[in-house]
């Protein structure tokens, strides 16, 4: 008789994610899936051509561990143009296997048992497991309910001599809130007397709607000096399945980041790196992205205005949050999670409960839709939601 050895789980509290659950339910009920955050439209054919050409040119073997130089140079040039901050392509830019790997690697390289890492809830669901894998302690600080803006008094109260790092995210998933210049300045002042590192998740950097702009930590010298900036080509260029991102950080931080990166990924898909480098020579695709998604946001919000949903502001990302407390009984009395299941089964549209982004399942009667979809997909969803 054979047996499989039993061992203690590194993540005993982790199960199937809400995104997997809701996507499966959407498929089962043939619902319009506005739950998981990915586009249902194709990327620019020029980007695919760039990758195909790189493959045909024989660029198919291992690239440098840090990323191909031409792509790192293009990233540095883009950051300089967008923020005014100069990063050295050789020692301060690293290409990663997506933003999720970048965040995990940043946390692994700087935190361990005895340390604390602050997260601001609601937050992307990888942050907490990443921290737990290091043996560090997660310190959860809530964003202000309803507005999802940072509460700096609560952040200050959470700082301790054991605080090693803090994870921030703007534009914010799931709420669509964008940090202001004053927010960034306040964070800079708060952390100035500390040794706390910042892991700044900026994957939606090119989805900030006028008149606002993206306030990267790179814009402030004090924050830039202590920060790992994480971004994603998958989000920016509609290729989430490619799993390519990057990290920009001062040379000393990058050296530690690369020590971990070389052993948990080593390197990233070669022809895609070359294809992206060529595509980045024209900044128009990411410069025009805010207007592209603003049009989809406006279409979706206009349609939702005729329902009983209460629309929350959407300053960035491709997510629209709505409050369900104005709906009729009994739907308004359901939990967020139960409402999303009901909406998928009975109305035929899938959404995500915001409670899934809180460690304690905080329920404020708010759900999230993704509008990174074809206009016809959004119109089909709106036609079904009009029944509410």
Q: What would the pLDDT profile of 25-49 be if each residue is shown by its tens digit?
A: 999 999 999 998 899 999 999 999 9
What residue has token string 């022809």?
271
Query: Which tens digits make up the pLDDT trace of 47-73?
Result: 999 999 999 999 999 999 999 999 999
Beta strand ranges found along the chain (DSSP E):
32-33, 93-96, 116-121, 137-142, 163-169, 197-201, 227-232, 245-248, 310-311, 319-323, 349-350, 352-353, 366-370
Residue % of the chain over a pLDDT of 70: 100
Strand partners, 198: 166, 227
Question: Could you say which architecture CATH assigns to the domain 18-43+287-385?
Answer: Alpha-Beta Complex (3.90)
The residue count for the chain: 388
Mean pLDDT of 6-25: 89
Residue among 303, 344, 304 at smallest CA distance from 327: 304
Q: Which of 321, 320, 335 is nearest to 145 (CA)?
A: 321
C-alpha span between 325 and 341 (Å, rounded):
16
The pLDDT-based confidence of 222 (bands split at 50, 70, 90) is: very high
Answer yes or no: are the C-beta atoms of 372 and 204 closer than 8 Å. no
Class of domain 45-283: alpha beta
Cα gap 365→28, rounded to integer Å: 25
Domain boundaries, the chain: 18-43+287-385, 45-283
Are 380 and 387 in contact, with CB atoms under 8 Å apart? no
Q: Following CA atoms 262, 264, 267, 271 in sequence, which dihedral angle do they give, to the nearest 10 degrees?
A: 180
- pTM for the structure as a whole: 0.96
């Amino acid at each position: 008789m054979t047996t499989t050895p039993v061992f203690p789980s590194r993540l005993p509290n982790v199960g199937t994610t809400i995104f997997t659950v809701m996507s499966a339910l959407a498929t089962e009920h043939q619902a319009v899936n506005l739950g998981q955050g990915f586009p249902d439209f194709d990327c620019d054919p020029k980007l695919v051509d760039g990758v195909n050409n790189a493959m045909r040119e024989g660029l198919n073997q291992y690239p440098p561990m840090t990323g191909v130089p031409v792509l790192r140079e293009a990233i540095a040039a883009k950051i300089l143009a967008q923020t005014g901050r100069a990063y050295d392509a050789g020692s301060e830019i690293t290409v990663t296997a997506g933003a999720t790997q970048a965040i995990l690697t940043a946390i692994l390289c700087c935190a361990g048992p005895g340390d604390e890492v602050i997260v601001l809830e609601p937050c992307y669901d990888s942050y907490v497991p990443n921290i737990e894998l290091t043996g560090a302690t997660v310190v959860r600080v809530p964003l202000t309910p309803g507005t999802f803006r940072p509460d700096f008094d609560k952040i200050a109260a959470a700082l301790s001599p054991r605080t090693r790092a803090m994870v921030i995210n703007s534009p914010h998933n799931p709420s669509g809130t964008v940090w202001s210049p004053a927010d960034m300045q306040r964070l800079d002042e708060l952390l100035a007397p500390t040794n706390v590192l910042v892991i700044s998740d900026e994957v939606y950097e090119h989805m900030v709607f006028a008149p606002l702009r993206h306030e990267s930590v790179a814009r402030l010298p004090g924050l830039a000096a202590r920060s790992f900036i994480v971004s994603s080509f998958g989000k920016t260029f509609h290729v989430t399945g490619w799993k390519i991102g990057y990290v920009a950080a001062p040379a000393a931080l990058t050296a530690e980041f690369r020590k971990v990166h070389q052993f948990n990924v080593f390197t990233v898909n070669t022809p895609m790196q070359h294809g992206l480098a060529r595509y980045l020579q024209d900044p128009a695709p990411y410069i025009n992205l805010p207007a592209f998604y603003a049009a989809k946001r406006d279409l979706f919000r206009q349609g939702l205005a005729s329902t009983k949903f209460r629309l929350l502001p959407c300053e960035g990302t491709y997510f629209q949050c709505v409050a369900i407390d104005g709906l009729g009984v009994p739907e308004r009395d359901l939990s967020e999670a139960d409402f999303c299941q009901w909406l998928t089964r009975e109305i035929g549209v899938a959404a995500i409960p915001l409670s899934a982004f809180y460690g304690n399942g905080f329920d404020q009667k708010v759900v999230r839709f993704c509008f990174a979809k074809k206009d016809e997909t959004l119109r089909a969803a709106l036609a079904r939601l009009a029944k509410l």
